[in-house]
Structure 1
């Protein structure tokens, strides 16, 4: 795999397909992710990666692929668990933990570096993490018992 996916013009987080056994479901999943979800038509802004070079890639493997000089802090994986579950929960992967006022990475990925999100809530995760309106922990702490973020209680 080359690292060209990390060196691109777009600043949108990546949504990487790692399971290639469900072509129709992948198409429906992409449509669900970018569908406006609120009255204000908020939607997830992601760059889809549909490249068999990523087949079977895990969160841990993905972290190893991120170049040291990358500013990517998170990505989404559409893996076999995404397609096996009726809610299609997408894996959110914390790639790097950046201090707000620092130019260097802090800490190493630990156990709290992934959670899942249903497609209709991806806009909330993507928008807020991209803009640093909310922290990773706010979403990770709000997952259901099965590890899936389905939105904040009203």
Structure 2
């Protein structure tokens, strides 16, 4: 057992770190006891206050400065569990973590809650994700679990929310990271929308992930082509889950299951996004999920994708080889069997 001493304290290293940092797992970078972290949260929030007294946020706040640098969370601190995935936005029930980047500066955050105002221009990064509130309470906290304002962002009570995060200067030295976070009530149909899982699918083969849900006829045609096509598609796992609506290639890659050594379970990911389903050729976005390969995503028609699947699984060719064969519009069309 590792031990340490500080200021007259002697004992296990984890206990020492808890003594110093109050159990703040995000600060010390370890995986300390969950109950210690919970106690730190409660000490920060002051649960003697009735949270029902916190008003619902209406519209947009002025820019707010966090008291600590580090990742942001939209959460109910007394519910849910911390997301374990990686990526700019990672969610579980009642908890969204926002990667604040590498800048060691306190972030500047503007909050919005209400009807969808649309994407705001002028930001470097804009991504969105679904967060399900089971308690009807969500607040924005900094890395020390400090609420930026005592307002409730869950303006429609329990249910799904679309959280759209705009960001700039996340990794710029000497600049404060800036965020605009929009929290928009989702459709209330009586059934809660499940948040995306930390791991998108327990599969060791290629994946086809649907991220656009506006073209149901085209999606049905794609599925019919897979079912009636060659055996080349047999190893493909299809993910049709609205929790991944609007996901980018990087967000999908961040949720690929991994071996103990960090290698992804699925090397090849095909994404059926808006552009793919809006075209009769169904030009899927082909993504390499290997962390040490810098291959740019490219598009490949569904008719040609079967050959890509077979050849990459057999390691006959690399995804880079196929990407270099894309035509001027970025789509690979040649079929090989």
TM-score class, shorter-chain normalisation, is: 0.7 to 0.9
Point out where structure 2 has 5 or more consecutive residues left out of the alignment.
1-195
Going from structure 1 to structure 2, the CA distance change for 1:87 and 1:134 (only over 3 Å counts) comes to same
- Name 1:141's counterpart in structure 2: 324
Give the Cα separation in 2 of the matches to 1:143 and 1:42: 24
Answer whether contact 2:226 2:233 (CA < 8 A) is retained: yes
Range 44-53 or range 67-76, more displaced: 67-76
- Name 1:124's counterpart in structure 2: 307
- Of 205, 209, 215 in structure 2, the residue corresponding to residue 22 of structure 1 is 215
Indicate the structure with greater strand content.
2
Q: Give the alignment's TM-score, normalised by structure 2.
A: 0.37
Q: Deviations over 1:52-81 (max 9, x none)?
A: 011001112112222443332121100001
- Name 2:280's counterpart in structure 1: 86
Point out where structure 1 has 5 or more consecutive residues left out of the alignment.
98-105
Answer whether contact 2:202 2:257 (CA < 8 A) is retained: no
- Name 1:49's counterpart in structure 2: 239
Measure how far apart 1:31 and its partner are: 2.0
Give the Cα separation in 1 of the matches to 2:217 and 2:266: 29
User: Structure 1: which 4+ aligned runs deviate by more than 4 Å?
Assistant: none
SS of residue paired to 2:334: coil
Q: Give the alignment's TM-score, normalised by structure 1.
A: 0.78
- Name 1:102's counterpart in structure 2: none
Give the Cα separation in 2 of the matches to 1:6 and 1:140: 25
SS of residue paired to 1:113: coil
- Name 1:100's counterpart in structure 2: none
Q: Deviations over 1:6-48 (max 9, x none)?
A: 324xx33110110011111101012223443xxxx45323111
Measure how far apart 1:88 and its partner are: 1.4
Measure how far apart 1:85 and its partner are: 2.3
Indicate the structure with greater helix content.
1
- Name 2:253's counterpart in structure 1: 63
SS of residue paired to 1:12: coil
SS of residue paired to 1:92: strand
* RMSD between aligned residues: 2.1
Larger Rg: 2
- Of 189, 197, 209 in structure 2, the residue corresponding to residue 2 of structure 1 is 197
Measure how far apart 1:86 and its partner are: 3.0
